[in-house]
Structure 1
Amino acid sequence: MAESKSLKQLKRERMTAKQRFSRLANSVMKSCKKMSADELMEAFNKVVLDADKVLEANEEVEIAWLEELEHVSTPKESMRDDIKRTVEEREQKLDDVEHFVQKVLWGNFGNSELTVALEAAEKECKRLLMSQPGLKLEVYELMLNHLEGLVKAAKEAVFRWSRWISDAERPDFQQRMRNIESLLPELISGKADLLQAKLEHNGSSDATLPPSPAIKLRPTALPRFDGNRRNFYLWKKEWEALQKQGEPTGSKEVRKFQLLDSLEERVARELRLPTYGTADEIFRVLGNRFGNKSAIALEIVEELQALPPVRGHQPRRVVDMIQVVEKALYDLSELGNTGALRNPLVTKSLESKLPENLKKEWLVCSAGEEEVASPEGRFDMLLKFLRSQEKIYEQLDQLRDDDSSKRERKIPQKHARTKATNSLGFQASCIVCGERGHRKKLYYCKKFKTLRVGEKREAVKKFGACVRCLEIHDGNAECKTTFLCKNEGCKDAQGLGHHYYLCPKVGSKEGDPRRLRPSPARAEGKRYTESQEEFLTSLPPDLAQRCRNVFCNSVSKTFSLTVPEQGLLAENDLKEFPVIMMILEVTANAGQKIGTLIDLASDTNYITHEAAGELDLRSEDVTLIVHGVGGMQVTVQTKRYLLKIRILWIGGGGTALGLLVSLGVVAVDVEIANLGERR
């Protein structure tokens, strides 16, 4: 359950965000002249993201400060000025960076690129208009297609640099683009005039165009190379075959431009391939960079040896492993170096990765032919055996129980998949006051804060905002519970609660959660400490009862009635704190049942080597020094394991992934009846 942060902690987080934003902004302004256009745009997008984080941190500080005002009679005006100053400094810094980046981008890159694109389209338009009367239809079609390509390139350049064009030059570039677009339809209609003239000249003015074919095949594009050297020779073989069929004339210029179009822009830019004259020279450069057959073969073998072993009953992983081996053999066959895969060490490594049941079948199958087979031929035997098992394990995977109730819940995605947001400076205005800066967060709107409770609820309902966090979002994945109303009497039937801005009892001290109500367990004679009571009141009823059953040291103790004196703790004015211990049976992803002892008073996690091996955990060797009484030291050689856990948040908050560092032990030397024979 999320805990509220103090105002001091929120101010510290805001200071950290401001420092990160300032460092990044200063770094961009200092080194922007050395960056390329794409790098500079990406760096500016990162600055914008950090600026948004500063604004969000400042909003949380303001909300926490407003919450404290309810308990303070004389508010500090200096805090209000500090929040306002933070917003102004953020806006000023962001404007300075944007102005500096715009000056560098437009002066060094955008002006020349956009000017060249527009001039090329304008010249081709004038040339086609002047040459139209004396051209043949075929020549006119060729020139018109070329013009359409130039117009498309000009539009893309205008779109790319529309944000960075200086205000003084923006109207001129927009007008030139509109003129080009207005001429294009007129030139396209000229094609119909030439076609009509050709038909009249041939004496077939009533003839119709040839009928379109009944079946239209989709055009096939040449394969693209993305810089993966493992696919270099296969790509080269397919590209040369398709290019020869698509361009039978063998033009060197066409072959060069088709080759450049088939390469990723990153590869062509890094190797400066457009500067070479022919396709053969480009292939030579590509071969030097990506065509080292020995390095490719070594990479394939290392990938095979890095495959994780298959443990337990996992048919899908067995099938994936077989397909990886087949793909590796195919790639090495294209290189003419299958001997690297038939190495006895590689074969032994693949055998060790098989599951125990499949490994036993393989040993039985190879026992009869082991004497006649050579060490290199053992790989062929293994591959033949795996291919015979692939269909069986594919069917086993399809027969597995796919009960939806047993499937793991997917963690809701909370971040975008793109590396950076390609924003054009657009910021949504507030839906209540119309101001920019706080987007769809109603709790930051000054006009919203001044409304009465009923008007606030109407605004929230009208615009579809969340009543818990006052933000407009989809679902509960991003809902913040930090500023929920703490009045117990305001909770609805579902126990969802609402934001304290929407509370009709603002200022009332009744229902303060800090005034704890006695637990039902007190009426039954069993008493708990104040910390236990506070912990139990924050849980659902069923989970609270389960925790009561496992508390091992409640305050209530049984004393002898014949002894009138006070207890030992009461005599010495001591207090015993609660220690919660639970014995649970945890289910792993593969279905194993693992006995677990949870002790919240422990500062170290332990796991047996046997359980870690069954879960296939990542580990490393460590040396521990155990300090005892009187300066005694004991050195222990063990392993440190990395254990992945899934945390289920209470109240429908979803799940989260976590990592535990655990030390390996041989066995847990304690007898617990509930654990039985489980680890």
Structure 2
Amino acid sequence: MIKGEETVKHLKDLRTRAKVALSRKVNSVTKTLNTMLEEELMKEYREVHKAATKVTEANSEYLMQIILNADSDEDQVPEELSADVEKTNGETSQRLEEVSEVIKANLWTRHGEKTVMFAIGEAEKVYEDAEATQIDLVSYENDEKQLKHLEILIKELKEVHSTWRGWAPVTARKDVEEIVRQLETRKNALKRQKEAEFNKARGAAELVRTAAEDERTKLAETQRAKLAEIQIAAEEARIAAEDERAQFALVQLRQDQAQRSKLAEAQIAAEEARFDLMKAQHKAVEEAGTEPRDNPMGAISKIRLKPVSLPKFSGSMREFHSWKKDWESLQKQGEPSGSPEVKKFQFLDSMEEKLS
């Protein structure tokens, strides 16, 4: 029994020392609260909870030892001892709650609130910039970067809020949660709105591009048509000029033919007249019984026609120059004496009846 009482006394002393340690820790934190850094406050918060836990554990061991010594259950523990244990638990819980609230309030007001509100402000600013940006095909890429940046900032805001939500007062915690929720909702709505605006701008740009492409196509077709007309007109003018030159050449040729024909007929008539005269002289001499004199005009010319295949002129102006060239070439190969009668017959034979 004596040994049990000693154990109770020892446990009571341990409880007293734990209560003193807790009191010292609470007093120390309370005095230096406003000078501590964020990490120091969090560390002290954990230390206070450890000290309070030691008091609670020592108080529970003290009560258990009293029950063992009395060899009875908790309901049979003397009222005085039971009240002492309950008082210790109540005081420990109250002091722990008070100092915890003080530490959390200090942490929130000096560090947490500023950090959370800064994150909210950054996200709100990017949201407002993205909302104010007018969507077009040029600015869409920049606006898309703004929306991605906004998503990153909202994610960081959630992480910051998750870090500080345990330190924030209930009202502040609910307010921040509502701000994050609304910001997320507005961001999603803005993203859909920007996508719709971009699709609209892209459709309008596509219509403009198609219209411009059609206009360029029509202009090119008009230019090609005009060029074709110019080329056709030039070709027709060239053909008309060639036809005119051919017609002129044909008229000149016909005039030359007429002159040569008249000259050839005159020469043949002269030859026939000379020949008739010679025949008449010869007949007169024979009738007179005298020898005929030598022909003072020389020997009678004989017409020798050289067989030749002459080119035919069909009347086409495009073939005129080729025909004339072949005809003149054959003329050079004709009668070596250059008899006009031969040239006349060759020329007349080379013409078709429709040109005679």
TM-score for the superposition, normalised by structure 2: 0.50
Offset of residue 139 of structure 1: 0.6
* Pick aligned residue for 1:188 from 175, 191, 194: 191
**Residue in 1 that maps onto 2:169:** 166
Offset of residue 85 of structure 1: 0.7
Change (3 A) 1:190 1:68: same
Q: Which amino acid aligns with 1:59?
A: S
Q: Which amino acid aligns with 1:186?
A: A
* Pick aligned residue for 2:158 from 155, 158, 161: 155
**2:21 matches 1:16:** no
The CA deviation string for residues 592-618 of structure 1, in whole angstroms up to 9 with x for no partner, is xxxxxxxxxxxxxxxxxxxxxxxxxxx
CA distance in structure 2 between the aligned counterparts of 1:55 and 1:75, rounded to whole angstroms: 18
**Residue in 1 that maps onto 2:98:** 96
Offset of residue 8 of structure 1: 1.8
Q: What is the root-mean-square deviation of aligned Cα atoms in Å?
A: 2.9
> Matched residue of 2:64: which SS?
helix
CA distance in structure 2 between the aligned counterparts of 1:45 and 1:187, rounded to whole angstroms: 43
* Pick aligned residue for 2:140 from 127, 137, 140: 137
CA distance in structure 1 between the aligned counterparts of 2:105 and 2:202, rounded to whole angstroms: 56
CA distance in structure 2 between the aligned counterparts of 1:157 and 1:33, rounded to whole angstroms: 22
**Residue in 2 that maps onto 1:84:** 86
> Matched residue of 2:166: which SS?
coil
**2:168 matches 1:128:** no
The CA deviation string for residues 319-373 of structure 1, in whole angstroms up to 9 with x for no partner, is xxxxxxxxxxxxxxxxxxxxxxxxxxxxxxxxxxxxxxxxxxxxxxxxxxxxxxx
Change (3 A) 1:187 1:71: closer
**Residue in 1 that maps onto 2:112:** 110
Offset of residue 190 of structure 1: 4.5
CA distance in structure 2 between the aligned counterparts of 1:75 and 1:101, rounded to whole angstroms: 37
The answer as to whether partners of 1:136 and 1:194 remain within 8 angstroms in 2 is: no
Give the alignment of 1:189-588 within 5 angstroms: 189-190=192-193, 192-193=195-196, 196=199, 200=203, 201=205
Offset of residue 195 of structure 1: 6.3
Aligned length: 200
Offset of residue 80 of structure 1: 0.5
Offset of residue 167 of structure 1: 4.1
CA distance in structure 1 between the aligned counterparts of 2:186 and 2:118, rounded to whole angstroms: 19
* Pick aligned residue for 1:146 from 131, 149, 157: 149
Offset of residue 64 of structure 1: 1.5
**Residue in 2 that maps onto 1:37:** 38
**Residue in 1 that maps onto 2:279:** none
The CA deviation string for residues 463-511 of structure 1, in whole angstroms up to 9 with x for no partner, is xxxxxxxxxxxxxxxxxxxxxxxxxxxxxxxxxxxxxxxxxxxxxxxxx
The answer as to whether partners of 2:115 and 2:160 remain within 8 angstroms in 1 is: yes
**Residue in 2 that maps onto 1:207:** none
**Residue in 2 that maps onto 1:288:** none
Change (3 A) 1:175 1:71: closer
Change (3 A) 1:7 1:145: same
Change (3 A) 1:112 1:78: same
**Residue in 2 that maps onto 1:66:** 67
Gap runs ≥5 in structure 1: 204-679
Q: Which amino acid aligns with 1:46?
A: E
**Residue in 1 that maps onto 2:304:** none
> Matched residue of 1:61: which SS?
helix
The answer as to whether partners of 2:45 and 2:103 remain within 8 angstroms in 1 is: yes
The answer as to whether partners of 2:135 and 2:198 remain within 8 angstroms in 1 is: no
The CA deviation string for residues 230-265 of structure 1, in whole angstroms up to 9 with x for no partner, is xxxxxxxxxxxxxxxxxxxxxxxxxxxxxxxxxxxx
> Matched residue of 2:67: which SS?
helix
In percent, how many aligned pairs have the same letter? 28
Q: Which amino acid aligns with 1:174?
A: E
CA distance in structure 1 between the aligned counterparts of 2:86 and 2:146, rounded to whole angstroms: 60
The CA deviation string for residues 248-307 of structure 1, in whole angstroms up to 9 with x for no partner, is xxxxxxxxxxxxxxxxxxxxxxxxxxxxxxxxxxxxxxxxxxxxxxxxxxxxxxxxxxxx
CA distance in structure 2 between the aligned counterparts of 1:132 and 1:82, rounded to whole angstroms: 73
CA distance in structure 1 between the aligned counterparts of 2:169 and 2:126, rounded to whole angstroms: 26
The answer as to whether partners of 1:69 and 1:75 remain within 8 angstroms in 2 is: yes
CA distance in structure 1 between the aligned counterparts of 2:117 and 2:31, rounded to whole angstroms: 28
The answer as to whether partners of 2:135 and 2:143 remain within 8 angstroms in 1 is: no
CA distance in structure 1 between the aligned counterparts of 2:54 and 2:72, rounded to whole angstroms: 28
The answer as to whether partners of 2:33 and 2:103 remain within 8 angstroms in 1 is: yes
CA distance in structure 2 between the aligned counterparts of 1:39 and 1:8, rounded to whole angstroms: 36
**2:58 matches 1:49:** no
The answer as to whether partners of 2:52 and 2:96 remain within 8 angstroms in 1 is: yes
The CA deviation string for residues 527-586 of structure 1, in whole angstroms up to 9 with x for no partner, is xxxxxxxxxxxxxxxxxxxxxxxxxxxxxxxxxxxxxxxxxxxxxxxxxxxxxxxxxxxx
The answer as to whether partners of 2:8 and 2:66 remain within 8 angstroms in 1 is: yes
Q: Which amino acid aligns with 1:34?
A: T
Offset of residue 197 of structure 1: 5.4
The answer as to whether partners of 2:66 and 2:77 remain within 8 angstroms in 1 is: no
Offset of residue 202 of structure 1: 6.0
The answer as to whether partners of 1:37 and 1:105 remain within 8 angstroms in 2 is: yes
TM-score for the superposition, normalised by structure 1: 0.27
The CA deviation string for residues 204-254 of structure 1, in whole angstroms up to 9 with x for no partner, is xxxxxxxxxxxxxxxxxxxxxxxxxxxxxxxxxxxxxxxxxxxxxxxxxxx
Offset of residue 157 of structure 1: 2.4
CA distance in structure 2 between the aligned counterparts of 1:166 and 1:57, rounded to whole angstroms: 31
Offset of residue 193 of structure 1: 3.7
The answer as to whether partners of 1:137 and 1:194 remain within 8 angstroms in 2 is: no
Q: Which amino acid aligns with 1:120?
A: E
Flag the structure with higher helix content.
2
CA distance in structure 2 between the aligned counterparts of 1:137 and 1:113, rounded to whole angstroms: 32
CA distance in structure 1 between the aligned counterparts of 2:11 and 2:164, rounded to whole angstroms: 39
CA distance in structure 2 between the aligned counterparts of 1:76 and 1:183, rounded to whole angstroms: 64
